[in-house]
Amino acid sequence: MGVEQEVYRHGKLVAAQIGHALPARCVTCNRPAQALFFKELSYLPWYLWPRETLFTVIHFWSRGRFSRPFEMYRTEIEIPLCATHDAKRSRSSWLLYVLMISAFLTFFAGGYFSENIMGFVYTAGGLFLATLLVFLFQYKPFRLRKIDQRFVWLSRISPEYLATLPELEI
């Protein structure tokens, strides 16, 4: 990753030029970063969904004779986090993983081993619900708003972090 100057604030958003590193402070608490959270990002603007869906259907019906590349914006990013917030992020993704696996195992174990399956169904249902709740409310260091030709746009970044960035003039 390159120099830091190509990262801006715009309102409550961070606009990071594609391929440039974010300043090495935690995006949540602005303390010095001790970890980088690597994430692959993809983004398709909502107004392109109908067109892309249509092209996918045509591709399928024509058995691949008519095809074109899917025009989704893709990039990668490294999100700087302090030790505390990196640990928090990793804990919640593990919890999510464990809950989801338990839900599936319970569901299938119920099918194999039980005469009275409802107990397993309720347990699995509860675990799926817990998975959903953890997924919705877990700590997320950022939210991807969009990717365009030049920038990756992120929200949920702390005001302290934003305040240290130059304003983007557009």
Binding residues (CB under 5 A) for Zn ion: these are 26, 28-29, 82, 85
Which CB atom, from 3 or from 163, has the smaller least distance to Zn ion?
163
Q: At closest approach, how far in Å is the CB of 25 from Zn ion?
A: 8
Structural tokens at position 139: 């700590």
Q: Any idea how long the chain is?
A: 170
Which CB atom, from 39 or from 150, has the smaller least distance to Zn ion?
39
Q: How far apart are CA 136 and CA 157, in angstroms?
A: 18
Phi, psi dihedrals of residue 36, rounded to the nearest 5°: -115, 125
Q: At closest approach, how far in Å is the CB of 31 from Zn ion?
A: 5
Which CB atom, from 28 or from 106, has the smaller least distance to Zn ion?
28
Q: What is the DSSP letter of 151?
A: E
Are 166 and 150 in contact, with CB atoms under 8 Å apart?
no
Q: At closest approach, how far in Å is the CB of 93 from Zn ion?
A: 16
